Structure 1
Amino acid sequence: MHNTDVYNLLWLWCRLLEFLPLNRRSEEALAASFGARGLAELLRLHRAQASQEARRDLTAALQDDLADDKPVRDLIQDLRDMAHKHAIPDHEVIAIIWQCVMSRSEWNKKEELLAEQAAKHLRQYTPLLEAFAQSAKAELALLTKVQEYCYENMNFMRAFSKLVVMLYKTNVLSEEVILKWYREPNSTKGKMMFLDQMKKFVEWLQSAEEESESGEDDD
């Protein structure tokens, strides 16, 4: 579908709303009414546009709150409220958090100093990240974002493993998700470059995992 067609349909949507009683302009009523009239595609486009706008609004609100140095506990509550209102899942919220947090710093151009600077910068936001990393899907979304960021910003290439280890030590990323990321293929750019960086840490995780399983067997 061409952009012109999309805009025309959305314009039609807005016009059609005017013909519905005020008490029937809820999403549920609109879905039923428009579905019955063969306008399911229009409803889908409306929801997609509303979803994009909600994500832009959440991003802008978080950027403003970060600029105002709002306490993390308030950031968490505000994000939860907005995410709940617009049905934005945690794995998408955490990707937005990463994007906003990483855009807030001027990075050192020396690679040997950058990894420590980035870890220190991120550490202050780990409670915020942890609040939305409550599922394997959300954790994996964050880990994938870290991977993308380090690949796309060349100075961060050597910082990847340090950032992942820091997120593990601060309980943002779990052992299970890191091992899943390491063992299973994904199409995100840069993974092959970071596998070697992560090898020693993953071997340590695997060793700890095996010791834990052995202990359970002994019991």
Structure 2
Amino acid sequence: MLAPGGTLSDDLTRTEFCLFTAQEDLETMQAYAQVFNKLIRRYKYLEKGFEEEIKKLLLFLKGFTESERNKLAMLTGILLANGNISASILNSLYNENLVKEGVSAAFAVKLFKSWIHEKDINSVAGSLRKVGMDNRLLELFPANKRSCEHFSKYFTDAGLKELSDFARNQQAIGSRKELQKDLQEQMERGDAFKDIIASAREEMKKNNISEQTMIGIVWTSVMSYVEWNKKEELVTEQAIKHLKQYSPLLKAFTSQGASEILLLVKMQEYCYDNIHFMNSFQKIVVLLYKADVLSEEAILKWYTEAHVAKGRKSESEEEEAD
């Protein structure tokens, strides 16, 4: 079909069994997908070649009519849902010309609709994560429209709110990871706490991050940039010294009771997940209580109702022993 230079050849005779001459509806596309599915299952060697051909077709979407693109999008969505092709084929949609002319976004609407109709948003999310494309959905739009707000409106208006929510969530996760990385770099540079706190508060405001979310990020950052001693009897002393130094940073983001509770839960999970810290929890709680990071009320609430199950027994025994 493709002539040199990427144009579509008109010299070839089109078979009557052609996707582009079929009816433009999901049921018809499902029938075509079933044919491809049976062929690939019977002749496994066709799988790789078929995927490569799909990639090529997506690169030259501008050569097709709108109706032909819609049919190809629906079929591609069904094939993705059935696992006949990898989500890596979507890389073709990030072609600059396709994005610039709005072809990629319009194609994606039909594709994701048929994919979600066949499976659900979890199938989409899992496949995109597998090929590292879960954070690239915004790239379906040109740079001047590449915002979470524009993406959300475009796909919500098209009836794909679940995809909009997924993209928004991925953006939030990406922002939090970037913030955590920035915090660690600031700590490694030895920046003053007042500067780190000011920078973090600015990010909270800019990205609409709650204090509860921020204290989780700060805790992870504080605990991640240290190389901990592997000996249990030494790591507690190291942790106490380290957290005493960074307690002002933790205190800055525990002005609410809910933030204190969340910090306690994060501490509990960390001490449980990192076996060398199993006996450090109680001493860390005492340290942060004395540093005015944690209140007695928050500790009691965590103890009676807000704790998580893992590590609960050993940590409760520590608290009772104290």
Q: Which runs of 5+ in 1 are unaligned?
A: 202-219
Rounded to whole Å, the distance in 2 between the matches of 1:119 and 1:178 is 18
Bigger helix share: 1
Deviations, residues 98-142 of structure 1 (Å, cap 9, x unaligned): 122112333344434432321111011111101111112211111
Q: Percent identity?
A: 40
Change (3 A) 1:100 1:185: closer
Which residue is equivalent to 1:177?
A: 298
TM (norm. structure 2) is 0.55
- Contact kept in structure 1, 2:183 and 2:221, CA below 8 Å: yes
Q: Which amino acid aligns with 1:78?
A: S
Q: Which runs of 5+ in 2 are unaligned?
A: 1-121
- Note if 1:149 corresponds to 2:270: yes
Q: CA deviation at 1:38?
A: 1.7
Which residue is equivalent to 1:191?
A: 312
- Contact kept in structure 2, 1:148 and 1:188, CA below 8 Å: no
Q: What number of residue pairs does the alignment pair up?
A: 197
Which residue is equivalent to 2:179?
A: 58
Deviations, residues 144-176 of structure 1 (Å, cap 9, x unaligned): 111112112222222111100110011101111
Q: Which protein shows a greater Rg?
A: 2
Moved more, 72-81 or 94-103: 94-103
Deviations, residues 26-79 of structure 1 (Å, cap 9, x unaligned): 655654554333232222122011111101110110111111011111110111
- Contact kept in structure 1, 2:260 and 2:298, CA below 8 Å: yes
Which residue is equivalent to 1:126?
A: 247
Where do residues 23-62 of structure 1 align in structure 2 (5 Å cutoff)?
Answer: 31-62=152-183
Change (3 A) 1:13 1:78: closer
- Contact kept in structure 2, 1:144 and 1:188, CA below 8 Å: no
Rounded to whole Å, the distance in 2 between the matches of 1:31 and 1:107 is 42
Deviations, residues 184-217 of structure 1 (Å, cap 9, x unaligned): 164341011111111255xxxxxxxxxxxxxxxx
Moved more, 145-154 or 54-63: 145-154
Rounded to whole Å, the distance in 1 between the matches of 2:149 and 2:220 is 33
TM (norm. structure 1) is 0.78
